[in-house]
């Protein structure tokens, strides 16, 4: 196994302003607490880790994806500190932090493409519920999609793969690229019949020229590390090998953790490490290692920093050491394993007209 990957990470102390208020599950202390853990573990002193202090994203960056009138609306609501919806507040501080986070995502993407580093980490990124002209689910602007468009315009990339490993389906990202065959979008999430945003089903496979390029992998509540890895091996890897991405982006945080309050998947810190290690090895095999990881979600502050660290360590190609947790999740029942096998089988059948790897 090669050593640690040269990695760029974007961070700004103002990220903490992305705080949706007392009583809201999305609090700003997630960022400094994770940063402190990176410091404690000595990662910030490593010569292979480059810290980027980002500049804010511009209006032009937002317009790569979003409708102008929608961008104006969010700026106006932010100025007036009025919420977008009941769970998605806006304020000058939140907007300032968000623009810095998006600027950070773009900066690490550029660093990877410049060849300065192999991997990029956009701390605070992954606002996958925002579409071209709507927000929701704590998300205002879709930085995952903005990064994709930035990479295409600035660097001329034609095939980008997104793996969304948040517990919630990436409905905004899915909508944005629904008819776009240049983006292979794979969302692995808790069954949307049981969780926000209530969409992200197997049969939603894209439209027009993008048919077959929008992949939803809904997992039953209770799915643990083992079945999750099976999905990566049996569905994600063959699709990636056939698609041959020039760049891989993944997004998600700690909300699939077994102790998270908003989700019911049963992933452990070691499981998070396995997920991003797996994606890293795909990037190493398929696209010269080029991989950007965006980490933002997670609603149990007691497991968030360790889970985020685990995600980062997998991407950085570090071994899964020091990721022990105070307790383990319940064993995954065989009923869940069987249900996940059924999902995999149905996915392969649904996608077989579009992908040689699934033709029997
Ligand atoms: Zn989520």
Q: Can you give the pTM of this predicted structure?
A: 0.98
The position carrying tokens 């990176």 is: 38
The answer to whether the beta carbons of residues 48 and 4 sit under 8 Å apart is yes
- Residues paired with residue 190 on neighbouring β-strands, in sequence order: 219
Rounded to a whole number of angstroms, the distance between the first and last alpha carbons of the chain is 34
pLDDT in tens, 287-327: 999 999 999 999 999 999 999 999 999 999 999 999 999 89
| Spacing, Cα 54 to ligand 1 middle (Å) | 24
Band (pLDDT 50/70/90 cuts) for residue 248 is very high
Catalytic entry in 12, 66, 128, 129: 129
Handedness of CA 51, 188, 86, 145 (dihedral sign): positive
Ligand 1: centre distance to CA 353 (Å) = 31
Tell me whether residue 129 is one of the annotated catalytic residues. yes
Q: Which domains does the chain have, with CATH numbers?
A: 7-323+331-358 (3.40.800.20)
Task: Tell me: pLDDT of 2 over 80.
Answer: no
Task: Place 1 in a pLDDT band, splitting at 50, 70 and 90.
Answer: low
What residues are neighbours of ligand 1 (ion), with CB under 5 Å? 166, 168, 255, 297
Give the tens place of pLDDT for each residue, 6-56: 999 999 999 999 999 898 899 999 999 999 999 999 999 999 999 999 999
Cα(115) to centroid(ligand 1), Å: 31
| Res 23: pLDDT | 87
Q: Compute the distance from residue 3 Cα to the ligand 1 centre, in Å.
A: 31
- Please give the order of strands across the beta sheet that includes 214-219: 49-52, 7-10, 119-123, 291-295, 247-251, 160-164, 183-190, 214-219
Q: Using omega within 30 degrees of 0 as the cis cutoff, is the peptide bond preceding 197 cis?
A: yes
Distance from the alpha carbon of residue 172 to the mean position of ligand 1, in angstroms: 12
Per-residue confidence (pLDDT) for residue 360, from 0 to 100:
81
């Amino acid at each position: 196994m090669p050593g640690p990957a040269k990695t760029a990470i974007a961070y700004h102390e103002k990220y903490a302003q992305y705080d949706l208020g007392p009583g809201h599950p999305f609090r700003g202390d997630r960022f400094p607490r994770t940063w402190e853990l990176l410091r404690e573990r000595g990662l910030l002193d490593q010569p292979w880790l480059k810290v980027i202090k980002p500049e804010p994203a511009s209006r032009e960056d937002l317009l790569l994806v979003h409708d102008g009138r929608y961008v104006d609306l969010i700026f106006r609501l932010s100025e007036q500190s009025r919420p977008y919806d009941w769970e998605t507040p806006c304020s000058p501080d939140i907007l300032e932090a968000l623009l810095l986070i998006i600027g950070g995502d773009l900066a690490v993407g550029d660093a990877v493409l410049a060849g300065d580093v192999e991997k990029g980490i956009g701390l605070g990124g992954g606002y996958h519920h925002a579409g071209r002209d709507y927000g929701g689910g704590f998300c205002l602007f879709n930085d995952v999609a903005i990064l994709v468009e930035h990479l295409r315009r600035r660097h001329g990339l034609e095939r980008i793969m997104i793996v969304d490993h948040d517990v919630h389906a990436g409905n905004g990202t899915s909508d944005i690229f629904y008819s776009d065959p240049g983006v292979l979008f794979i969302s692995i999430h808790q069954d949307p019949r049981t969780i926000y945003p209530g969409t992200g089903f197997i049969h939603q496979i894209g439209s027009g020229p993008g048919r077959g390029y929008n992949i939803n992998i809904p997992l039953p509540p209770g799915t643990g590390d083992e079945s999750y890895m099976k999905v990566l091996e049996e569905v994600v890897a063959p699709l990636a090998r056939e698609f041959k991405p020039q760049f891989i982006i993944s997004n998600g945080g700690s909300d699939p953790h077994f102790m998270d309050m908003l989700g019911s998947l049963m992933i452990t810190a070691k499981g998070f490490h396995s997920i991003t290690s797996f994606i890293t090895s795909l990037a190493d095999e398929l696209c010269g290692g080029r991989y950007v990881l965006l980490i933002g979600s997670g609603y149990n502050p007691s497991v968030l920093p360790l889970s985020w660290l685990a995600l980062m360590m997998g991407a950085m190609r570090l071994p899964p050491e020091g990721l022990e947790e105070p307790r383990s999740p319940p064993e995954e029942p065989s009923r869940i394993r069987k249900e996940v096998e059924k999902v995999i089988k149905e996915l392969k059948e649904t996608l077989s007209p579009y992908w040689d790897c699934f033709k029997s």
